[in-house]
Amino acid sequence: MIAIIDYDIGNIAAVANMLLRLGVRCTITAQPEEVEHAERIILPGNGSFDACMQNLRASGLIPVLERKVLEQGTPLLGICVGAQMLGSESAEGTERGLGWLDMRVRRFPEIPNLRVPHMGWNQVRPSSVSHRLTRNMEAEARFYFVHSYYMEPADPDDILLLAHYGIDFAAGVSRGNISGVQFHPEKSHRFGKQLLASFVKGD
């Protein structure tokens, strides 16, 4: 069973609907006991970094998430702000992130004719790292983005996917059982469906 973490943010139902289209059993939950029994975990995110971190702390789910992810090695996929929260801090606010990855979140630089937020479809390419999420990715894979801030891992080996918008930036990160994608796979049609299928299947 896959647990989609419900901490009072938007776009959760769209993730569940995509998993249901894959025939995958999932639950949208704010209950620690359901998270405890999950085989895989998805941490969505929508809105501002600070609001998401505040809501997640208020949910009381961080201790069970840390136990599952950091101690038991349960695979976790962060989506959009849910991916950014895996790092230590964001230029968008003052809240501390989860700190599960050595990573900071930066705002896109001011570049002439570059509109921020980065919104819409963009091509994504895997880094040189072989990973379960990218093994079946199409060469011209495109995903849907909505963001003004991007992830910057301290270790380049943690960069899983790259995209370009004025600058090259990490569209996906991963270390061990922890992964995150800046885009919205649930809004990315067949490309997103394939990525979620790869996450579900695992190694």
| Low pLDDT (below 50) residues in the chain | none
The model's pTM: 0.96
Residue 7 pLDDT: 96
Structure tokens at 116: 């921020």
How far is Cα of residue 17 from the mean position of the Cα atoms in its chain?
17
Query: Which residues are registered as beta bridge partners of 94?
Result: none
Residue 203 pLDDT: 59
**pLDDT, tens digit, for every residue of 7-50?**
998 779 999 999 999 999 999 999 999 999 999 999 999 999 99
Burial of 87 (0-12, 13-18, 19+ CB in 10 A): buried
**pLDDT, tens digit, for every residue of 88-100?**
999 999 999 999 9
In CATH, what number does 2-201 get?
A: 3.40.50.880
Question: Catalytic residue numbers?
Answer: 80, 184, 186
Residue 68 pLDDT: 98
Domain ranges of the chain: 2-201
